[in-house]
Amino acid sequence: MAETGSDSELTLCGIVIPAKWGVNGAPTEVAILTRDEGEYRVEPGDTGDRLLSHLRREVLARTVPLSGLAGHQRVRLLSFAILEWAGAEDEDPPSNSGGGR
């Protein structure tokens, strides 16, 4: 889900997924996949790189839209919060170490 806040901010709620991989096969960039199936690639950099350690977790993110390349929507991440764990009962909840607000 994407909601427009101020003139240039976009609030996203969705799952962090890999978007680009390095030569060793590890993710180097991420995207936020929203509930309405929007995919927003997160610009790499200080705050954006923090999402690499939160793959497959649901986040609420404050972003700024950027011009996309080849049909991809890109955003610069301003801040994010990991949403409460809502996984299956037989799974251990992930640790919530350092959200990045």
| pLDDT score of 25 | 93
| pLDDT score of 70 | 64
CA gap 64, 62 in Å, rounded: 7
69 pLDDT higher than 80: no
Mean pLDDT of all residues in 37-59: 93
| pLDDT score of 96 | 45
Mean pLDDT of all residues in 62-69: 84
Cβ atoms within 10 Å of 1's Cβ, excluding its own: 11
Q: How far is CA 42 from the centre of its chain?
A: 7
23 pLDDT higher than 90: yes
- Give the containing element (helix H, strand E) for 61: strand 58-66
SS3 label, residue 32: strand
- pLDDT > 70 in the chain, percent: 72
